Amino acid sequence: MVEGSHQNLAARFFEKVGRICVSALEEMGRHGVMIGESFHWLFLGPGMNQPVRLGAVFTEMMEIGVRAIGIIGIMAAAIGAMLAIQGIYSLKIFGAEGHVVVGVAFSMVREFAPLITGILVAGRSGSALSARLGTMKINQELDALEVMGINPVRFLVVPSLLASLVMVPVLTFMSMVLGLYAAALYVNTALGMSMAAFFDQTIDVLSVDDLIHGLSKAAIFGVLFALIGVLNGFLVKGGAEGVGKATTRSVVQCISAIVVTDMLFALVATL
């Protein structure tokens, strides 16, 4: 009897693990299909009289990028200052405060700028994308588009994807600059190092590779969050409640995806 229930438990456990694996694979498959479809419309759409509208891309860039400048700028500056404060505090132990620039420059450009930008954009626009597409789905607006002969992927998804592919790296670059600037200000007051000296040292220690590392990560984050936002929106079922669930799911998935990708990227890049 006891044996039986144990077996039962094990079976159920493995069944559950199996289910989760299958649904995760399915989800990845859907992302793959969505990327494929997006490329299809981007390149073959014009031939079918279904071009991707530049106007729509710019609108999305405005929404994803320009409107986020304020908050991302503030966060990046705060993180830059925090890195400087923390750096000086710990380097003081070895009497090596002067080397703070190295630590700040590397961590800001390679890690923190893409990460904080990615997370903020995901929270702002990933959820908005899911909510918007989900609402359109339950209001049958997606069907209406389809019947009008307007492909929803071409009309709604590709512009968001392109906009975030461009805007997340741009915002990340802005974060790098602002973060370093805030750090320089703090170092200037704390150690009396001039701003010029700070930036000279920064440029000395950083290579183009570091910059590319940070920006390409940002581009990947951009694609990831657009895909996750869009897919959760498209898969909404069951009314307003479904939209709410999709939005939450989308933010959680975006941030997890960004953090995990970041870790993998760091692992591969430092091998």
Partner 1 sequence: MSDTEKPNAKNVIEVRGLVTHYGTRQILNGVDVDINEGEIMVIMGGSGSGKSTFLRHLMALQRPTSGVIKILGQDVWKLPQKKLFELRKKLGVTFQGGALFSSMTVGENIMLPLYEHTKLDRLTMQIMARMKLEVVDLAGFEDLMPSELSGGMVKRAAEARAVIMDPRILFFDEPSAGLDPVVSSQLDDLILRLRDAMGMTICVVTHELESAFKIADRITVLDKGSILFTGTVEELRNHPSDRIQNLLNRRSEEAEIDADEYLRRLTGDKEEAEGMPR
Q: Does 207 bind partner 1 (CB under 8 A)?
A: no
**Cα 249 from Cα 127, distance rounded (Å):** 9
**Can you list the alpha helix ranges (DSSP code H) found in the chain?**
2-44, 54-64, 69-91, 100-106, 113-121, 127-138, 141-147, 152, 158-191, 195-205, 208-234, 239-269
Two structure tokens written together for 101: 């620039």
Q: Does 1 bind partner 1 (CB under 8 A)?
A: no
Binding to partner 1 in span 210-229, by CB under 8 A: none
Q: Does 135 bind partner 1 (CB under 8 A)?
A: yes
207 burial type by CB count under 10 A (0-12 exposed, 13-18 middle, 19+ buried) = exposed
Q: Does 35 bind partner 1 (CB under 8 A)?
A: no
Instruction: Name the segment binding partner 1 (CB under 8 A); options: 121-129, 207-215, 232-240, 246-254.
Output: 232-240
**Cα 135 from Cα 128, distance rounded (Å):** 10
Contact 131, 243 (CB under 8 A): yes
Select from 1, 2, 3, 49 the one that contacts partner 1 (CB under 8 A): 49
Q: How far is the CB of 237 from partner 1 (least distance, A)?
A: 6
Select from 235, 252, 255, 266 the one that contacts partner 1 (CB under 8 A): 235
Binding to partner 1 in span 143-202, by CB under 8 A: 143-144, 146-151
Select from 237, 240, 241, 248 the one that contacts partner 1 (CB under 8 A): 237
Q: How far is the CB of 149 from partner 1 (least distance, A)?
A: 4
Binding to partner 1 in span 66-105, by CB under 8 A: none
Q: Does 136 bind partner 1 (CB under 8 A)?
A: yes
**Can you list the alpha helix ranges (DSSP code H) found in 92-207?**
100-106, 113-121, 127-138, 141-147, 152, 158-191, 195-205
Residue numbers of the site for partner 1 (CB under 8 A)? Answer: 48-50, 132, 135-136, 139-141, 143-144, 146-151, 234-235, 237
